[in-house]
Amino acid sequence: MKKVVLFSFLFLLIACAREPSRGEVAASIATTEESQVFSEVSEEKPNKIGKVKVYIENTLSMYGYLPEKRVVNTDFRNAVNELLIASKGSYGNGNVELSLINNATSVNVNIDNNLDNIDVKSLTKNYSQGRGSSDFDKLFKDLLQDWEDEELLVFIADFIYSPDAGTEVTSGLDRLRQNITDAFQKAKGAEQLAVNILHLGSDFYGKYYDIDENVHLGIDNRPYYIFIIGNENNVRRYSENIVPRVKKYDLRNKYFLTPSSIQIKQYSALPFTLNTGHFLAKRNPMANAHIKEVIVKSSLNKSPQVQLAVTADLGDIPVSEEYLMDINNYDLNDNRIILREVGVIQNKKVKLSDGTEEAIKSNDLRFAENATHCFLLSFPNTYKGTIELSLKKNTPQWVSDVSIKDGQNDKDIKTNTLKQSQTFGFNSIVKGINDAQRLKNPKNEYFRLTLDIDQEKTGSGIGAIIGWLIGLVIIGIIIFIVIRNKQRK
């Protein structure tokens, strides 16, 4: 019995004295995972879409998208019809309304039986050959003032800026942006108001009216946009249902403007994969095998810089893959830390920007479970403290690309093929909405990942040696006792 007790004591002593090897995951007393993760998201409310209100802008500039069906079936009409059919199928005929809108008035259109009547005839019938203009800051204000929390607004237009005669363009665009910011900021429930912007293209059979109201014919294809507006949860649900249905009709880009930040629970450092240097990962026993505390083993690191791989599940982030992969969209809390690259995780491998693939080491697979992306972070081997990586809410590049550049206009659109795919003043509208959301969410980020970096304790190697020596002494004592007992027998 004494032998069993002595051997048990010996095992515990050696286990406690041994220094963990590189990358070994050790349990540690730590704060709960929730306290390490930044989030501005409150509990998700059980919102319900009570009504879908669809608005199509009705001015002369829109007629080219909707020639009579016997002439041609444009992508615009197909996409709008698909959207209406899907909306009615999901929320019921009585809960979907279609209206034609401009500065003058809003007229309801019967969509119970014949969706194909959304064409130039129905437009001209309601507005006498399209008289009336569309000041989009005014229209957004009117729509938001009439909006209720359980409703969803779908606003479809070309969103071309058309200033009044005598208006100076630069100041007019600035005023457009400011007025849209004001409209969204003052809307009911603005804190939860989200906007999903869809950029689509369509064949075009009609007249284009430039900034001076001059007519241009023969432009074959034009962009248009669908703004889905409402409570964030409802916009997300509606988009998940509708966007796949209209995608086949030349959906080119998306931009989901959301007022909240998203809590990323599934993220972890990797002890073995794509790392430069040596680390000891500490894991909170309550953290579901996700490593958020890392010790830099300075005694083993010869390079002044180390590199650490961090994986995360970004499946709920409402931005494009291109946006997630652009390192310029990320912020770090210390200028000594560098985001080297963002890789994509597929089939247990990390695919890097140069096309190379690195298999996730077997010991790391459980930490990378369900992860979609991998961040490669570089920092000094002496770094100690917190690393905070956040994804900023920047306006995506495509918004600038589809907007006619500042200082230019659309007078030469007939001969300028690039401008035929662009929209005059569109970026001012989008930036106005973005400005409103920045005022409601000053941090202006989609998510934030937090890691704690520590340095190995000085003398830890000596302590391990002393532990082993003590263990050997105890083994010697035990052997001596066993031999003495045998001699007595």
User: How far, in Å, CA of 169 to CA of 155, rounded?
Assistant: 24
Q: In which domain, by residue range, is 181 found? A: 51-260
Residue 437 within any structural domain of the chain: no
Pairing mode, strands 251-257 and 267-270 = unpaired
Tally Cβ neighbours within 10 Å of residue 282.
Answer: 22
Q: Which of 260, 295, 327 is the last residue of a domain?
A: 260
Pairing mode, strands 279-283 and 26-27 = parallel
Q: Count how many domains the chain has.
A: 2
Within this chain, do residues 177 and 32 fall inside the same structural domain, yes or no? no
User: How far, in Å, CA of 356 to CA of 349, rounded?
Assistant: 10
**Which letter does DSSP use for residue 403 in this model?**
B
Residue 479 within any structural domain of the chain: no
Beta bridge partners of 449: 389
Within this chain, do residues 268 and 256 fall inside the same structural domain, yes or no? no
Task: Please give the pLDDT value at position 473.
Answer: 75
Q: Which of 216, 233, 260 is the last residue of a domain?
A: 260
Residue 190 within any structural domain of the chain: yes
- In contact, 116 and 66? CB cutoff 8 Å: no
Beta bridge partners of 394: none
Q: Which of 260, 290, 319 is the last residue of a domain?
A: 260
Within this chain, do residues 25 and 172 fall inside the same structural domain, yes or no? no
Within this chain, do residues 219 and 367 fall inside the same structural domain, yes or no? no
Give kind and range of the element (H or E) at residue 338.
Answer: strand 338-346
Q: What is the mean pLDDT of each run of 10 residues along the chain (489 residues)?
A: 42 40 32 31 58 92 86 91 93 91 82 71 64 83 92 96 84 95 92 95 94 93 98 93 95 92 91 88 64 82 87 92 94 96 96 94 92 96 95 94 95 96 97 91 89 79 61 78 68
Within this chain, do residues 302 and 173 fall inside the same structural domain, yes or no? no
Residue 304 within any structural domain of the chain: yes
Within this chain, do residues 254 and 268 fall inside the same structural domain, yes or no? no
Report the chain's terminal Cα–Cα distance, integer Å.
17
pLDDT digits (tens, 9 = 90+) for 54-76: 999 988 889 899 888 777 889 99
Residue 484 within any structural domain of the chain: no
Q: Which two tokens stand for residue 152?
A: 């969803």
- In contact, 209 and 458? CB cutoff 8 Å: no
Residue 167 within any structural domain of the chain: yes
User: How far, in Å, CA of 214 to CA of 375, rounded?
Assistant: 51
Tally Cβ neighbours within 10 Å of residue 79.
Answer: 26
Helix (H, G, I), strand (E, B) or coil at 477: helix
Within this chain, do residues 299 and 164 fall inside the same structural domain, yes or no? no
Residue 276 within any structural domain of the chain: yes
User: How far, in Å, CA of 88 to CA of 97, rounded?
Assistant: 9
Within this chain, do residues 294 and 375 fall inside the same structural domain, yes or no? yes
Helix (H, G, I), strand (E, B) or coil at 62: helix
Residue 342 within any structural domain of the chain: yes
- Per DSSP (E only), the strands in 187-301 are 193-203, 208-209, 215-216, 221-231, 251-257, 267-270, 279-283, 293-296
> No. of H helices and E strands in the chain?
12, 21
- Whose CA is closest to 274, among 387, 370, 369, 373? 373
Within this chain, do residues 191 and 334 fall inside the same structural domain, yes or no? no
Within this chain, do residues 256 and 267 fall inside the same structural domain, yes or no? no
Tally Cβ neighbours within 10 Å of residue 361.
Answer: 18
- Whose CA is closest to 62, among 48, 77, 84? 77
- In contact, 80 and 111? CB cutoff 8 Å: no
Within this chain, do residues 201 and 281 fall inside the same structural domain, yes or no? no
Task: Please give the pLDDT value at position 70.
Answer: 76
Within this chain, do residues 346 and 286 fall inside the same structural domain, yes or no? yes
- Whose CA is closest to 450, among 41, 39, 36? 36
User: How far, in Å, CA of 199 to CA of 273, rounded?
Assistant: 39
Task: Please give the pLDDT value at position 191.
Answer: 86
Q: Is 255 exposed, middle or buried (0-12, 13-18, 19+ CB in 10 A)?
A: buried
Task: Please give the pLDDT value at position 259.
Answer: 86
pLDDT digits (tens, 9 = 90+) for 409-464: 999 999 999 999 999 999 999 999 999 998 877 788 999 999 999 998 765 455 55
